[in-house]
Amino acid sequence: MDDAKVIPFDDDRGRGRGTGGSTARGAGRSAREGGRSPLTPRSPATRNTGARQSSDGPEEGSRGERRPRSAGGSPGHRPPLTSVLGRRGPEADGTGRTPGPGGPDRADGPERAGGPDRADWMDGSARVGRTESGKPVDSADSADAPQEPLPGDGGPFSADGAQEDVQEPGTGREDEREGALLARVLGPDWGARAARGLAFLRRRITGEYEVDDFGYDQELTDQVLMSLLRPVYEKYFRVEVRGIENIPADGAALVVANHSGTLPLDGLMLQVAVHDHHPADRHLRLLGADLVFLLPVVNELARKAGHTLACAEDAQTLLERGEVVGVMPEGFKGLGKPFADRYKLQRFGRGGFVSTALRAGAPIVPCSIVGAEEIYPMLGNSRTLARLFGFPYFPITPTFPWLGPLGALPLPTKWTIQFGEPLPTDGYPPEAAEDPMLMFNLTDQVRETIQHALYKLLVRRRSVFF
């Protein structure tokens, strides 16, 4: 034991050269002779006042007052227990205390001197240095390893340890903003329309829809075809409807209208007007020419929309079922007339529609359409091209065929559709349908009613486009 050698700290070696070393050892012996252990902490008063230093040696006082200088510290600083356990920062000790002014590893107060809070501080260090099962972990990895939330620690667990659903912060607000954006873009009832659309697709796939013997698909017409035509009706042509109440709420009726516009867009707009504006939600079944049902795609769409061939048998059947039937007696003569003859009604045929209405006892509702004559101003008719393509006429307009497909775009004129008062036919005897004079008189009466209504609407119209 006599050969044992005391190895001083770095600070002691720096200060103990020469006479300083003996002075330090003498100070240690004087501390032991005084009955105080070198590891006994100083009182706060002693710690704050500091130690007197001699001119030729290190600090004077007890051996417990000399400690190595740490980074950012000062002489006499005791390293806290956190640095021994590999703890970092104020969060790791479990107490939330901030580091002292001496640096990140310095603690102020009784903890540094082993005061009354030291036991609690050590318990907190031990708690962080253990896993959920109580197994100790390496102190060097405890700060970097992810800590699992424990039950009752404020994590996503209930009191009995079961995991709870935790909503991300701001998720509710993001959903509200997305819903408001969809409502602004697609409309407030976009959810209900989306649900109806999905149900419609399901019925289309499974075949759970009805089609009558004429090929009319009411669900397809309401959900798809009317939805495609409605923007053109409301936004492009801005159709104004008058006298829609003259169409009966129930029972059969025959709507007779003028025909114009080069392409039969007036018939489609008439169908939308009855579908969207009639208070009883009546559907118009139009009678079309033979050419409509000879074209590949147009044939299917016309059948699905409720159109049928313009013959007495089909019209009679629909009227007997109580349908609202639409007919345009001018035919191609009115549709393909020159722009100079606009709003001048052509001959209404031989009065076959009047005979059909008399047999069914259905009222005749005259209808006048203003605005369709100007959508394709027909300046000429190429009969050579018409015979080549098998058309009744080939229109020459200011834009077609010069602009190609762009010339087929109609002009955005302002439309007005007016339904006149119905002409009753139920007061005539059954044999009246065979009387040619009666049919001629009724046909001329309907034609004159429509013509006078057109003149009145043209006088009231401010502009072709407004």
Write out pLDDT tens, residues 437-453: 999 999 999 999 999 99
What is the predicted pLDDT for the residue at 197? 85
The residue among 309, 314, 232, 242 whose CA lies nearest residue 265 is 232
- The residue whose two tokens read 């004429």 is 214
Tell me how far apart the alpha carbons of residues 231 and 184 are, in angstroms, rounded to a whole number: 18
> pLDDT of 388-447, one tens digit each?
999 999 999 999 999 988 999 999 999 999 999 999 998 899 889 899 999 999 999 999
| N residues, the chain | 466
Domain ranges of the chain: 72-130, 213-375+410-460
Q: What mean pLDDT, rounded, does the chain reach?
A: 75
- Look up residue 91 and give its two tokens: 């969060």
What is the predicted pLDDT for the residue at 175? 73
What is the predicted pLDDT for the residue at 17? 43
Residues facing residue 416 across a β-bridge: 240, 370
* 44 CB-near residues (< 8 Å, 6+ apart): 113
What is the predicted pLDDT for the residue at 304? 95
Tell me how far apart the alpha carbons of residues 205 and 272 are, in angstroms, rounded to a whole number: 27
**What backbone torsions phi and psi does residue 136 show, to the nearest 5 degrees?**
-70, 145
Does domain 213-375+410-460 correspond to CATH entry 3.30.70.260?
no
What is the predicted pLDDT for the residue at 169? 52
> pLDDT of 156-191, one tens digit each?
444 444 444 455 555 567 777 877 887 777 777 788
DSSP state, 321? Answer: T
Cβ–Cβ < 8 Å for 62, 37: no
Cβ–Cβ < 8 Å for 324, 252: yes
What is the predicted pLDDT for the residue at 171? 57
Determine the residue type at 75. P
Cβ–Cβ < 8 Å for 98, 109: no
Cβ–Cβ < 8 Å for 19, 27: no
The residue among 433, 284, 445 whose CA lies nearest residue 360 is 433
| Order of all β-strands in the sheet with 308-309 | 240-242, 416-419, 364-370, 253-257, 324-327, 284-288, 308-309
Q: Would you call 367 exposed, middle or buried from its count of C-beta atoms within 10 A (0-12, 13-18, 19+)?
A: buried
What is the predicted pLDDT for the residue at 118? 43
CA 80 to each of CA 57, 122, 125, 261: distance values in angstroms, whole numbers, following the listed order:
28, 10, 11, 97
Cβ–Cβ < 8 Å for 86, 140: yes
Residues of the chain with pLDDT under 70: 1-172
- Look up residue 120 and give its two tokens: 């609690």
What is the predicted pLDDT for the residue at 188? 79
What is the predicted pLDDT for the residue at 30? 42
- Look up residue 276 and give its two tokens: 């969207």
What is the predicted pLDDT for the residue at 172? 64
Residues facing residue 325 across a β-bridge: 254, 285
Residues facing residue 254 across a β-bridge: 325, 364
Tell me how far apart the alpha carbons of residues 253 and 320 are, in angstroms, rounded to a whole number: 10
Tell me how far apart the alpha carbons of residues 252 and 324 are, in angstroms, rounded to a whole number: 5
Cβ–Cβ < 8 Å for 251, 319: no
How large is the C-alpha radius of gyration of the chain?
50
Tell me how far apart the alpha carbons of residues 29 and 23 are, in angstroms, rounded to a whole number: 10
CA 148 to each of CA 23, 122, 143, 379, 456: distance values in angstroms, whole numbers, following the listed order:
54, 21, 13, 84, 85
